[in-house]
Amino acid sequence: MTRRITFSVLALLTLVLVLAVVPLGLSMAQRERMAFRDEVTDDARAISAAAEEHLSDHHSAAEAAQLVTAAGRRGDCATVYDTNGAVVLTTRCADVADGDGAFLVRAVLRHPGTRVVEDDQWLTTAVPVGETDDTVGVAVLSRSADPLDDRIDDMWLRLGLIATGGLAAAVGVSVLLGRWVGRPVREVAASARRLGEGSLDARAPQVSGPPEIRQLAAAFNTMAARTEALVHGHRAVVADVSHQLRTPLAALRLRLDLLATGADQATAEELGRAQEEIARLSRLVDGLLAVARAENASPRPVPVRVDEVAAERVRAWEPVARERGVTLIARIPARLSAYLGPGDLEQVLDNLVANSLDAVPAGSTVRIDGARQHDSVVLRVVDDGPGMSAQAREGAFRRFGNPQAAGTGLGLAIVHRLVTANGGTAELLPTPGGGLTVRLTLPRPDSHREQQGPGPRRTGT
């Protein structure tokens, strides 16, 4: 932000300076040239007036000679001509009757009036001596343009220094402004990032920056405080429910076990069915608590080796799959990593594998596939069991959303919550040829520089 503000202010000020300083410099240079031209013309007219007294009235030429000598001391070339073009007075310089000087003399004698010729080095002015109708000579004054050029160069240098100083001051002010605005914005963004990663005590400072940024920080802190209170309250409820439900269920199961001891066969069978319902209720409570914990989770993602986790979960579930006559395999490219909370991928795979093993008949196959896709990792759990209807797939990620579920109906809800909490997506798709495919899209680590291994890792029964 600081760089953007600096570049914006610098570009704007540069445009303003170009639009203001360049026309000002051109105008000042033009005024300098006009003043220089008027000054040379006035000096030439002064010599012409003094020479008129000598040529017209036949007075002494001392005054005109004094002005011509003074012009020579200044470095000018001054010459007075009579009507025949003869030199009456001149300074010690090149003969100005040659070239432009001679042309100007003839032009003024032919058509009396002031003539000015300017080139890169000299400005030459020819002024008639005497009245327009009674011209008795011509006064020609040539002055070097070097002092004028020096003044104009000095003027441009001063304007350039002023513009450069203005730009330097603008850079300094814009850097300070960018830091004044950008630092609190970055602090609010960092606090929001920490809050999103699970630091519920993250707060943004409110002591610097524009009033709008301080108001934003205050609003963020209010939101963070309310979020922290809600999450802690929810966690407290989860803990209380866990304690309050599990304890009486355990006590009830113990009493049923005692009653079943020594009971007749019919009573023992009824008590056994009651124990099965209590076991089902216990699993339901455990599932609800797992969903609540997943909803309360604010993971701090870390790079997780998908290939290693999938291989480890396949080994853990392999005895169950073998007992049920199901083939369980994993085909994950070596060194494939995703960005997830610690332990989240294990829970996701456990729930998906458990659901698949419960759904497929003996002789079926459950396969875990993985692949890189741009900035994501695509993980699929594929089975060739009976699958799910489109209506069942639409609600399967909600709690108890699948009436066809053989278990508690909470496994896919836990999967969906854990995946989305880590910035991924979860989809249920039909497997070509029959069955269900769970497609997970997981974020990859920021480095995105994993190296492809020699081949897929395959484990199975």
Cα 42 to the center of its chain, rounded Å: 64
Tens of pLDDT along 259-304? 777 777 778 778 777 877 777 677 666 665 665 665 555 557 788 9
Q: For Cα atoms 301, 305, 311, give the angle at the middle one, nearest 5 degrees.
A: 130
- Residue 301 DSSP label: -
pLDDT tens per residue, range 208-249: 778 888 888 888 888 888 887 887 776 667 666 666 676 777
Among 191, 56, 50, 39, smallest CA distance to 123 is for 39
Whether pLDDT at 305 is above 50 = yes
Confidence at 310, pLDDT banded by 50, 70, 90? very high
Q: Quick one: which H or E segment has residue 243?
A: helix 211-260
Residue 55 has pLDDT above 70, yes or no: yes
Which tokens hold the place of 371?
A: 């692949």
What is the DSSP code string of 438-452?
EEEEEEPPTT--PPP
Higher pLDDT residue, 143 or 104?
A: 143
Contact 298, 198 (CB under 8 A): yes
Q: Following CA atoms 357, 359, 362, 364 in sequence, which dihedral angle do they give, to the nearest 10 degrees?
A: -80
User: 26: burial class by Cβ within 10 Å (0-12, 13-18, 19+)?
Assistant: exposed
Sequence ranges of the chain with CATH classification 1.10.287 = 211-294
Any idea which architecture 301-460 has in CATH?
2-Layer Sandwich (3.30)
Classify residue 167 as exposed, middle or buried by CB count within 10 Å of its CB (0-12, 13-18, 19+): middle
Q: Output b/e per residue, 424-458; b: 16+ Cβ within 10 A.
A: bebebeebeeebbbbebbbebbeeeebeeeeeebe
**Please, what sign has the CA dihedral across residues 329, 330, 334, 335?**
negative
pLDDT of 165 above 80: yes
The CATH number, out of the four listed (3.40.30.10, 3.30.70.380, 3.40.50.360, 3.30.450.20), of the domain defined by the range 2-149: 3.30.450.20
Each residue of 15-35: pLDDT tens digit?
A: 888 888 888 888 998 999 899
pLDDT of residue 287: 61
- CATH 3.30.450.20 maps onto the chain at 2-149
Q: What is the mean pLDDT of residues 91-106?
A: 62
Mean pLDDT of the chain: 80
Give alpha helix (H) positions in 261-377.
265-296, 306-323, 344-359
Contact, 266 vs 392, CB < 8 A? no
pLDDT digits (tens, 9 = 90+) for 186-208: 888 888 888 876 677 888 887 77
- CATH code for residues 211-294: 1.10.287
Lowest mean pLDDT among 41-50, 88-97, 335-344, 364-373: 88-97
Q: For 254-271, how does the pLDDT look when each residue is reduced to its tens digit (9 = 90+)?
A: 777 777 777 777 787 787
